[in-house]
Structure 1
Amino acid sequence: MSKLFPQRFKLLFYFVKIFIILSTLVRIIFVLWVFKELDTSFFKLANTFLVGVLFDLGTVSFFALPYALYLLFFPQRWYGSLFDRIATWCGYTLGIVIFLFSFFAEITFWEEFKNRFNFIAVDYLIYTYEVVKNINESYPIPLLIGGILLFTAVLLFITKRRGIFQKTFHSESTFMEKLFPTLLVISTVLIFVLFVNNKDAEQFENRYNNEIAKTGIYSFFSAFQKNELSYTDFYRTLPINEAFAEVKSEFKRRGDTLLFPEKESIYRNISNTDSLPEQRPNVIFICVESLSANFLGSFGNTENNTPTLDSLANHSLFFTNLFATGTRTVRGMEAITLSIPPTPGRSIVKRENNQQLFTIGEVFKQKGYERNFFYGGDGYFDNMNSYFGGNGFNIVDRGRGFLLDASITTTRTNIEDEEVTFENAWGIADEDIYNKVIKVADEAHGAGKPFFDFVMTTSNHRPYTYPEGKIDIPSGSGRSGAVKYTDYAIGAFLKKAQSKDWYKNTVIIIMADHCASSAGRQELDVKNYHIPALILNLPNAAPQKVENLASQIDVFPTLFSLLNWNYNTNLFGTDILKMKPAEERAFVGTYRKLGLLKKDGSIMVLGDQQLSNFYRWNRETNELMPLENDNRFLNEIISNYQTADYLFRNEGLKLTTLGIEK
C-alpha cells in the first residue's frame, strides 16, 4: 500500500470494503423488491446508491475507529504477537458477524415495514423476549444462524487466503505513517457526529429511494437517539393563542360549550340537544390487530377470508371511509383512547407522564361504568399496562413480566394457563381472549355493573399462527390465514355472547388498530391507513353504511352521541354522523410526517425542518399530486397538531389540570 495507507491498515480497509460490498448487496435486494415503486431514472437511481455509499462510509467509520486507534498506538515491536493476533482476529470476526446479522435483520424488517430501521426496531430491541420468540416462530432460526456463521467462516477464509492478515501482522509501518489513516477515520466520524443526520439521506421525492439510500445500522442508532420530536422545534407553528382559537372555533361551530374559554384548553361540554333519555348499555370494543380495509370483501377483496365481518357490515353501523391515525398498535390505542391527532415521535402510550389523563375511559367513568383492558399477551409490552392501568382501567393479561407501577390502584387479573388453548410469541389465540371477556362480563353482569371492555387481539400478526382445524388455511402459512382465523374468532365470540343475558344490552364495536402495511413510495401512503369499523347491537338504530370521511378519534364521540349522553370532554373527536361535508377529515401520520386529509382528496403533510406539502390524493391510483399551497388549510392542520402536542406537554390532558378528581 502507499505511504498514505500503510500496510498495517490493510485489514482495516479490507473490513471497510467488505461492509460497503455487503451493504450495497442489501441495497440491490431492496431495489429489486420495490422496483415498480421506485424512481428508476438513471440519475435518481445512481444518486440513491451514491448517497448510500457515503452513509455506508460514515457508518463503518464508527466500527473502524476503535481498531484504527489500536493500530496507531500499538507498538511496532509487538506487531504479529500473540496478543495482536488474538485481538485482531476476534475484533474482525465480531465485526463481520455484526454486519451479517444486521443485514439479515434489515431484510426481515423490510419485509414487514418496507423501511430501514426506525422507532419500531428500537422498540423491538427493548422487548427482546417477544421479538426473539416471534422470529423463532416465523423463520428457520438454526438455518439462518448457521448461514451467518458459515458466511463468516467463508469471509475469514478469503481474507486469510488473500494474505490480508499476514500483511497486517508483518508490517513495519511507523507511528507517523499510521497517523494519516487514523485521522481520516476520526475525521469521518466527527463529520457524521457533528454535521450529518439520518434524514440527510432523504434527497428524493420517492420515499423508497430515500429509504434505500440510508444505511440500516446508522438508521437504528439515529432512531435510538431521537425517539421523540419536539413539535415546536421541528414543525411549522402559529402563536399558541391563534392555534387554540382556530381549534376552539371549530368546536363552537359544532355546538360545543367551552368550559375554560380563556385558557389554552379544549375542555368543553357536549349536550344532548334532542333531550332524549340517556342509554347506558355495556360496551365491548374489539381492537383488531392489523386489519386493513382491503382484507374485507365489503371493500372488494375476493378471497372470502372475512365472511363474518362482511355479514356484520350489513347489520351494523358500518363506517366505510375511516382512517387510522398511524402505523402501530400503540398509535391506534392513543387515537382511540385519547381521541387526539398523532403527535410527532413515539406514541403517548409509550411516553413518560402519560397517566391520569382524560381518556374515553373517563367519560365511561362519569356514567358509572367499570373499565377493563384485555390483552392476550404480557401487557408490559409497549407500556400498555402502565398506560391503561394508570388511566383507570383494570388489567386482564397473561400476568407475566413487569408488575404495574406501585402508584396504580386498579386491579390486574391473570389469564391462567388452563384458560389458554393456543399461544404464540405475541399472545393467546383470539378465541381464548374472547372467552376471558365473556367470563369477566358474566361476573360484572352478575354484580349489576355496566362495563366497558377494551379488547386488544393478537392473532393477525406474524408468525400468523393459530389453532389448527378452525379454518381451511393451515396455521403459519401467511397473512390470509391469520385474517380468516381472526374473522372466524369474532364469529365464534358473537355466537357465544348472544346466548348471554347481558348481550341484549351490550353494544359491540369492532375496529382495526392500523393497517397491515403502511409503507409506500410517497410521503404518506394514504390508502394504507384505510381501516374498517363497525358498531353492532345499537339500541333503536337501523343498520347503515356511513360514508363520511372520518378518523379513529371520532368513533367513540360518535357512540356517546348515539347513546344521547351529556358529558364533559377533552377529546378532539366529534360525531361522525353530524359532520357536514366541509367538516369531514382524517388525521394520518408517521412518527415524522403529520397529515390531514379532506373529503375532496386534498391532503396537507407537515414534516420536520418546518416543511409543509399540499397534495391531491387520487383514491384510485393512490398517487399524491402536488398542489399550490392553501394557507387556510395550512393553519387548520398546524392548529390541530400544535394544540395536541401543547396539551400533552403542558399537562392539559391531565385530570387534575381539568379540575377532575382521580
Structure 2
Amino acid sequence: MFKRISGPLYPLFIFFLTNLILLSISRVALGLWQSERIGELGNWFQLLLNGVRIDISALCWLFAPLIILSVLFSGKGKAGLVVQSIVKIGLVIESTFFLFMEFATPAFINTYDLRPNRLFVEYLSSPKEVFTMLWNGHLSALISAPILTALCAFLFWKLANYAFKNVAYPKWHGNLITRPLVFLLIGGITFLGARSSLQHRGINPAMVAFSPDPLVNSLVLSSGYSLLFAVQQMKDEGNAAEIYGKMPLEEVISTLKSVRNRPDSDYISTELPTLTHNQATYQGKPKNLVIILEESLGAQFIGTLGGKPLSPKIDELAKQGWLFENLYATGTRSVRGIEAVTASFTPTPARSVVKLPGSQQGFFTIAELLSQQGYHTSFIYGGEKHFDNMASFFYGNGFQQIIDEKDYVNPNFTGTWGVSDEDLFTKAHETFSQLHQQGKPFFSLVFTSSNHDPFEFPADKIELYEQPQATRNNAAKYADFATGQFFELAQKADYWHDTIFLIIADHDSRVGGAALVPIQHFHIPALILGKDIAPKRDPRLVSQIDMPTTLLSLIGVSGNYPMLGYDLTQPADPNRALMQYDKTFGYMRMQNGQLEAVILQQGKPAESYVYAKDSATLTPIANNETMQKQALAYSLWGSYAYKLHLYRSAETKK
C-alpha cells in the first residue's frame, strides 16, 4: 500500500532509511571503540541524536537532485525510464560513497584522531605515497575497505532493483494530487530537512558540537558529511573572518604592533604594513644557514625536554647549543611547519600557503631574501619534491636548487616516503662540502622523512625501544640517530666553522586528544648549533615563526622583511604561541604566573582557559578580552596578508 501511495518516492525513501540505519550503526560502532572519550550517558544521547540530525541533513542535500528528477520527470515512457535509471544509479553511488567513507574512518582516526576531513582530499594528490603508506602501515584497511565497498555497492544495486520494481507514477493532471503539488510538498520537506534549522544559518558542525574533545564532535558527523563539508570550506578558505569573527585590517595591524612592542618608526612601508628594517646582531662575515626540519619529532620524543628516552644524540647536542625549552609548532602538517620556519608566516584555517595558488611566486621567504644577498639556496629532501606542492612553492620563492629522491645514486635504503634519513644527511653533507669549496654562502632546508607512518628505516641501526621495528617510537629514535651521525660529520668538516644550524620539528606525531587544542602535542624541540653558539637553555615561550628572524640575525644578514617573528638574540620576550588545529585556533601566553590560552572555534565566541602543562588540561576562566583580541588579530592576519598580497618584500612586485 505504501509503495503504491508514495510512487516514485518509494525508492528514495527506502534508500534514505537504509542510509540512516547504516550510518547510525557505524556511529555506534565507532562510539563503542572510543567509549572512554565519549564518557557519560548524556554524551551518548547527544552523539546519536545529533548524528541522526546531521545524517538527515546530508542525505536531504545529496538526494535533492534525485528527488526533483523522480517527482517531475520519471515515468514509464522512454524519457521517464532514462530518468529512473539515472536516479537508480545515483542512489547506489551516493549510498556506496557514504559507506566507503565509514570503512575508511578507523584508519584515519588512528592517524589523525578525527574523522576524514580536508587532509583526506589533500592526500589524494599524492596517490603513490599514500598507497605505499597504506600498503606498509594499514594493509588491513587497504584490503578490507575496497572489498566491503564493492560488496555494499552490489547489495545496494540489488536493493535498487527491488525498490524500483512496479513503482506507480502520478500523472501531471487529472488527479487531486499531481506532480507539481507533490514536488512542492516534498521539496519543502527536503529543504527543511537539509537546513535542519529555522535559524538564520542552516545546520553545520559547530551547531552539533557539544564536547571539548574534537574527536567526539567529529563522531557526531558522518565521514561523508565531514569530507564534503571540508571540500565546501576549502572553496572559501581564504577568509578566516568567516570562521572566527571580523576585525578590520587596520585594527588587526594596530593590535599586532602593540603585541610586538616595536616603535612606529620601525615600520617602513604604508603599502606593506608589517614590513620593517631589521639589523642583525652578528656583524661579521655572513654565515651559512642550515635548517634541519625533523618530520614529526615532537617534544614527547626528546629526553632532555621531558619526553621518552629516544633522543640520546640530540640530548648530547643540546649541551653544546641553544635549546628552546618552550617552543610550539604552528600546526599539525609538514607544510604548516615549512611556512613557519622559512617565512615566519602565521597559521590560518586555510591550507598552508605552500599549497595555495596565490603564493606560488612573489611570496616572502628567507630563501628569497638570502638569494638576493648572494646565497646559494637549496631544499634537500629524501622523497619526491612534488609532494605537498613543495617544488612549486620553493622554486617560485627563492630556492634555486631542489634535491629529491631521483638525485640519490644507489641509496642504502628506500621506503614509502623516499630514501632514509642517513642517505639524506649523507647527500646534505656532500652538498655543503662542495658549496663551501666554491666559497659561496649557502642556505639549505633539509627535510627528513623516516619518522613518518609507516615508520620504515634500516634495520640494525639502533637498539629498538620496542617491538616490532616499525613503530612511532622506534622511528623517532632512528631519526635522532641519523641526526647525530650527520653532526659527527659536520663538526669535522670545514663548513662547520662558518655555518649556523637549526634542528627543529615540523610538528608532533599523531596530534590528537580530548582537548579543544591538544597543546602538549604542539610542543616541539628547537636547537641552534654552531661553532660560536654558546650553550644555553632558553625558557621563553616562543613559536616556530620566531626562528627565521632569529636565524637571520645570527648569520649576520640584515634586511627589510614582513615577518612577525621576534629576533630571539634580543632580550625581548615573545611570550606567545600560535597553534592551528584543523579549524580551531589556539593562542597562549604566560599571564600572572600561569599559562592562559584563548581558543577560537568556528562559528563560536572566543573562550579563555588556564593551561596546566603538567596535566595537559584546559580549565575555563573568565574571558580575557585583551588576549582574545590579540588571538583574533593573529588568526586573521595570515588571511589578510595572503588575499591582499601583503606578505612580500618591497622589491617584489604584486
TM-score (norm 2): 0.87
- Counterpart in the other structure of 2:130: 131
- Counterpart in the other structure of 2:474: 481
- Counterpart in the other structure of 2:13: 13
Pairs within 5 Å for 1:238-637 = 238-253=247-262, 258-260=266-268, 265-272=273-280, 277-302=283-308, 304-354=309-359, 355-365=361-371, 367-398=373-404, 414-416=406-408, 418-473=409-464, 477-539=470-532, 541-576=533-568, 578-580=570-572, 583-599=574-590, 600-609=594-603, 611-637=605-631
- Counterpart in the other structure of 1:409: none
Asked if 2 retains the 8 angstrom alpha-carbon contact of 1:374 and 1:397, the reply is yes
Distance 1:111 1:149 in 2: 20
CA RMSD of aligned residues (A): 3.4
Cα distance, 1:100–1:627 mapped onto 2, change above 3 Å: same
Distance 2:84 2:205 in 1: 36
Aligned amino acid, residue 517 of structure 2: L
Asked if 2 retains the 8 angstrom alpha-carbon contact of 1:7 and 1:167, the reply is no
Question: Which range moved further: 467-476 or 214-223?
Answer: 467-476
Cα distance, 1:622–1:126 mapped onto 2, change above 3 Å: same
Per the TM alignment, residue 174 of structure 1 is displaced from its structure 2 partner at its CA by: 4.0
Equivalent residue in structure 1 for 2:206, among 177, 195, 199: 199
Per the TM alignment, residue 9 of structure 1 is displaced from its structure 2 partner at its CA by: 5.1
1:130-155 CA-partner distances (Å, limit 9, x unpaired): 22232222222674156415753894
Asked if 2 retains the 8 angstrom alpha-carbon contact of 1:618 and 1:624, the reply is yes
Asked if 1 retains the 8 angstrom alpha-carbon contact of 2:56 and 2:193, the reply is no
Cα distance, 1:579–1:501 mapped onto 2, change above 3 Å: closer
Cα distance, 1:391–1:296 mapped onto 2, change above 3 Å: same
Asked if 1 retains the 8 angstrom alpha-carbon contact of 2:70 and 2:83, the reply is no
Per the TM alignment, residue 391 of structure 1 is displaced from its structure 2 partner at its CA by: 0.8
Equivalent residue in structure 2 for 1:184, among 183, 186, 195: 186
Per the TM alignment, residue 660 of structure 1 is displaced from its structure 2 partner at its CA by: 5.3
Distance 2:458 2:348 in 1: 38
Asked if 2 retains the 8 angstrom alpha-carbon contact of 1:374 and 1:453, the reply is yes
Aligned amino acid, residue 648 of structure 1: Y
Distance 1:543 1:450 in 2: 25
Partner-residue secondary structure (3-state), 2:566? coil
Asked if 2 retains the 8 angstrom alpha-carbon contact of 1:467 and 1:475, the reply is no
1:413-450 CA-partner distances (Å, limit 9, x unpaired): x514x243333333222122222212221221121111
Aligned length: 633
Distance 2:96 2:283 in 1: 67
1:188-228 CA-partner distances (Å, limit 9, x unpaired): 25753783334333244443332111121112112112211
Aligned amino acid, residue 209 of structure 1: V
User: Which 5+ residue runs of structure 2 have no aligned equivalent?
Assistant: 172-176, 196-200
Asked if 1 retains the 8 angstrom alpha-carbon contact of 2:497 and 2:530, the reply is yes
Cα distance, 1:492–1:182 mapped onto 2, change above 3 Å: farther
Distance 1:555 1:258 in 2: 20
State the identity %: 28
Asked if 1 retains the 8 angstrom alpha-carbon contact of 2:51 and 2:220, the reply is yes
Asked if 1 retains the 8 angstrom alpha-carbon contact of 2:576 and 2:587, the reply is yes
Cα distance, 1:184–1:110 mapped onto 2, change above 3 Å: farther
Per the TM alignment, residue 319 of structure 1 is displaced from its structure 2 partner at its CA by: 1.0
Per the TM alignment, residue 468 of structure 1 is displaced from its structure 2 partner at its CA by: 2.8
TM-score (norm 1): 0.86
Q: Does 1:230 align with 2:221?
A: no
Per the TM alignment, residue 610 of structure 1 is displaced from its structure 2 partner at its CA by: 6.7
Aligned amino acid, residue 646 of structure 1: Y
Per the TM alignment, residue 283 of structure 1 is displaced from its structure 2 partner at its CA by: 1.8
Distance 1:125 1:524 in 2: 26
1:546-581 CA-partner distances (Å, limit 9, x unpaired): 111100011232233334554333211113354555
Distance 1:661 1:197 in 2: 40
1:568-624 CA-partner distances (Å, limit 9, x unpaired): 33211113354555x411111234322221123111223343731111111122222
Per the TM alignment, residue 287 of structure 1 is displaced from its structure 2 partner at its CA by: 0.6
- Counterpart in the other structure of 1:652: 646
Partner-residue secondary structure (3-state), 2:446? strand
Asked if 2 retains the 8 angstrom alpha-carbon contact of 1:548 and 1:576, the reply is no
Distance 1:634 1:100 in 2: 41
Asked if 1 retains the 8 angstrom alpha-carbon contact of 2:589 and 2:595, the reply is yes
Partner-residue secondary structure (3-state), 1:371? strand
Partner-residue secondary structure (3-state), 1:283? strand
Aligned amino acid, residue 231 of structure 2: F
Cα distance, 1:259–1:149 mapped onto 2, change above 3 Å: closer
Question: Which range moved further: 378-387 or 556-565?
Answer: 556-565
Per the TM alignment, residue 186 of structure 1 is displaced from its structure 2 partner at its CA by: 7.3
Q: Does 1:215 align with 2:222?
A: yes
